[in-house]
Each structure stands twice: as structure tokens, then as C-alpha cells.
Chains A and B, each alone.
Chain A
Amino acid sequence: MSSLIRRNPKRSGTQTILLVILACLPGFVALSWYFGWGVFLNVFICVISSTIFEAIAISFKKKLPYYCLKDFSTLLTAVLIGLSLPPLCPWWLPIIGCIVAILIGKYAYGGFGASPFNPAMVGYVTLLLCFPFLMSQWVAVDAPYSNNIQHPTLIKSMAIKIGNLQQFDGITGATPLEVFRQNNGLLVHQLYSEKKIFSQSGWAGVGWEWVNLGFLLGGLFLVFSKIISWHAPTGMLGSITILSLIFWDSGSSASLGSPIFHLFSGATMIGAFFIITDPASSTTSTEGRLAFGVLIGALVFFLRGWSDYPDGLAFAVLIANFLAPTIDKYVVITADSDK
């Protein structure tokens, strides 16, 4: 955080975080447009529960709970968890994520600005490992267009979250990355024409392209108003682009997807502009941030291509957080000694 304040002497840390939360808005609107009320409910549950757990954690430190609300870092963590969860997951899933993120990811390390790991990703990875089935139940965005099924209303979404997802069969479907992961033997252009999630879309899967464009818009706002530095996002997006070009394989059945597909699907943009730019858990130097971004992009691409998880961004972020002090130590020293 200190590096951010130094960059912008006119703005306090609290204002910076509020602006970051505000910049999530285009992506949030796009997510809500395509995935229904569940996104809003997730963010709402996350904000309420993480504020409560933050107050509990602060009370252990013998401070007034007011301190937890003074900086809005918890709010940012909660918003990021809420945006990355499947929209119609049960109500207790965001709460468990917030418990882990706030108590273990943040306060076990001494609170805001001290954690070596991104708290939101700690919570998300825990959920991904403990509840793999529930975490893969994304709402099918192609269904409402093809079969004239409408998104569940607010009341119905709440009923789904409190009750059982199974009784609303046909709501969930595979994400574009899962479709690519489960592809056996189809050429890419066949895949694009057969699967509705691609054929009804512009370039990277129904809904997901607009969600990622929304986050890109918010991220560009943050970069141009000098709230985040451009190094880490550029490194990550650049390495994803180059690696997917190398493994594009001219659209054969072994292709891992085009660069535009990788840039605009899954969690690429929210990761590049909102998650990996967290100053506490990333590297401290600017050269290091570039290397940090490149490392995350490479890990994301390889985990998407070969691991069991279709979108490995959370794992990639945690691994890079672990390697960040090492990057700082080696990359920066060599960069300085060249001068």
C-alpha cells in the first residue's frame, strides 16, 4: 500500500481502494446482466460476512471495531470473492470463503498490508479445493437465448441459494474454458460452430467476452488515473498472448485456444487488473512487477492447458505470491547491477 500512496500523494489509501472498488462496476454490471441476480447476492453476502469477521478479528487485537471499517480493504477482498464465485452457489459458500480469507489469509499475518498472499485468492482456492462440484456450477449463459428460459428473478435466486440447486435443472452449464478443456478431437472451428456458447457469441464465448471487457474498462481507468501501475497487467496479458500464439497450432484439435479467446474468457481481466495488482502480496519493485505479471500469465496458461482445473488463476496468483520475494531478490538485483 505504501507504494501506492507514494505514487499518488493527493489521494489517501482509503480513497484509492474505494476507486478500485468503483472500477469493478462495469464488470459487475456485465456479470449481473449475463448471470442474473446471483452475482449481486454473492457480493452482498460477502460484504456483510467479511465485515463481521473483520470486526471479530479486530476485537482480538483489542481495538475498536471501527478501525476495521476505516480502510475499505476488506470490502475489496469481499467484492473480489463475490465476483469470482458461481452466481447460484449456496449461501454458505461465500461465508466460508470470507472466513478463510479474512481470518487466515489476512489476520493471521497481521492484517491489512502485511499478508504475503492475496486474501481473496486464499478464500477462493480453499473453496475450490473443498467444494469442487459446487464451484463448477456456473449458470449457463447460452440457455436463456436458445430456449427462451429467463434468468431466475431475485426471489427465485434467493430460493435457489437457500434451497437446492438440483431442483432447478438445466440452469447450469459449462464455461467456455471447460468446453475447451473437455474437447476431444474437434477442430477449433468445428467447436465454435457446434457449441452454442461460442456460436452465439462474438469472439470468446457468450457473456464472458463482455464481462472481461467490463473489467478491462475498469482496469484501464485504474491504469490511466495512476492508481495501479501498468507493469503487472502488461506482463500477464503479454505472456498469455505470446504463449497462446505459440500453442494456437492453427486451430487443430490439440489447439489450446486463440489469444483472443484466452484474453477474454475466464478470470483473465479481473485477475490482471484487480487481483495481481494487490500491492501487499506482489513484488515491491517495478521491474519485479513485470516479472511477476509474466510469471502469473505463464502459470495461468499452463494450468488452463494441462491441469485438472479449467481456470487456474487463483492457484497461479498464490504460487506467484509465494515466489514474489524471490523475484524481488534476484530480478531486481540483476537489474540494478546492469546500470
Chain B
Amino acid sequence: MLTIEEFTYLIIVASLSNNYVLVQTLGVSHSIRLPYNTEVVHAIAVVTTSVMMISAGISHCFETIILGPLQLVYLRTLSFMLLIFTVIMFHKYFIKKYKVLTDKFFNVFFPLLFSNSAILGIALHNSQNVTSVFQAMSHGLGAGVGFSIVLISFANIREKITGPHIPLHLRGAPIALITIGLISMAFSGFRGIV
């Protein structure tokens, strides 16, 4: 089982000191190129966190129960991608059934989830570093929290870094990447915190 110390440790590591977007540079494009309104950003944050947590748990189970005993570990990346795809499709099904999001955002929103490299990154990272499914899921939850912090804060800081005051050649993606680089430098202050 999972102790409260382990849980706290995994959450802090995955969300702050080892943040998937800022420190491991996975899923950067997803956190910086979302020009949507606040509600959609919140929805993306919640759904991504949920996908990260569930797919981390399922992929860990799949590896320890099927891939490991059958000595098929070299199929890890491919099978994890299929598992993540399935998890995302389940999310899509439930969201559609209960009409949480409007259709307008639906079509642009899910392709973004499929291509989020942080989700696969967590599953692959887990296969070498955790020992139980609870650890895997709390690591996924922490990574989702870290991703959501960056996503929501970046959506709010966006107003400050768009507009005519930014030099012409830096408008758009360059200034967003400079900003995420500076934030990444700031987050490296968390190094060694656990």
C-alpha cells in the first residue's frame, strides 16, 4: 500500500522539482499554444490530469502483469501508446455522454490530448521508477497537477506577452518559448527539495 509520506513525496517530485513541462520539457507545446478561454483551459487541465493518472496506473499494471512475464518489454512504448489511446477514448465517451463540454471545443481539444507527450512520458518514466500501482497513479496525479499549474498560469500570463509592445520578431511563439524558459529557470530552484 501507499503511505502518506510516499504520496506527498511523489506529488511534490512530479509537480514541482521534476515538473514534466518545465524540467523534463515534455508537452511544452500543449501548455503554451492554447488560445482558449478560461473554462476550456480548466477543462483541459482536469481531463489531462485524469488521463495522466489513469493511464499511469493501467500501463503499470499492463507491464507488470503481461509484458514482464511474457518478456515483451521491448513492446513497451507501442503498447503504452495504445493503452493511452484507449483511456482517452473512454474519457471522450463519458464527456460526450454527460455533455460536460460543448461541441465547439470538442473537435480541437481531443487531438491535443492524443499528441501530449507528457502522458506517454509518465508511463515510460513509471516503468523504471515505481514499484506499485498506487505509486504509479500518485506520480501520474502529481504530474497532472504540475501540468495544470503551468497550463492555467500560462493562459493567464498570456495577456502580458501578447500585444504591440512585444518586438516584432519575437511576437507569438518566440516570446512564449522565452517565457517558458524563464519559468523553467525559476522552477530549477526547487532542485533538491525532497
Contacts and interface: CB of A to CB of B under 8 A. Distances in A.
B183 A318 contact: yes
A111 B152 CA distance: 25
B192 A111 contact: no
A303 B165 contact: no
A56 to B, nearest CB: 13
A307 B193 contact: yes
Given A109-B175, A114-B160, A322 B183 contact: yes
A325 interface: yes
A312 interface: yes
Contact of B178 (A60, A108, A129, A326): A108
A171 interface: no
Which of the listed residues B156, B179, B186 has the most CB atoms from chain A within 10 Å of its own CB?
B186
B157 A325 contact: yes
A329 interface: yes
B161 interface: yes
Contacts of A321: 186
B35 interface: no
Interface in B141-194: 152-153, 156-157, 159-161, 163, 165-167, 170, 175, 178-179, 182-183, 185-194
B186 A125 contact: yes
A100 to B, nearest CB: 10
Contacts of A107: 167
A242 to B, nearest CB: 20
Interface residues of B, number: 28
A323 interface: yes
Contacts of A329: 38, 156
A253 B125 CA distance: 36
A295 B125 CA distance: 31
Contact of B166 (A60, A110, A308, A326): A110
B157 A316 contact: no
Contact of B170 (A108, A116, A129, A306): A108
Contacts, number: 88
B153 A325 contact: yes
Nearest to B166: A110
Contacts of B170: 108
Contacts of B163: 110
A302 interface: yes
Given A109-B161, A325-B157, A129 B193 contact: no
A110 B167 contact: yes
Interface in A321-337: 321-326, 328-329
A129 to B, nearest CB: 6
A110 B162 CA distance: 10
Contacts of B165: 109-111, 114
Interface string B27-41: 000000000001000
A328 B159 CA distance: 12
A325 B160 contact: yes
Highest count of chain B CB atoms <10 Å: which of A104, A109, A114, A129: A109
Contacts of A274: none
A126 interface: yes
Contact of A306 (B167, B186, B193): B193
Contact of A326 (B156, B179, B186): B156
Of all A-B residue pairs in the complex, the 6 with the closest CB atoms, nearest first, are A315-B189, A110-B165, A318-B186, A308-B192, A325-B156, A116-B160
Interface of B: 38, 152-153, 156-157, 159-161, 163, 165-167, 170, 175, 178-179, 182-183, 185-194
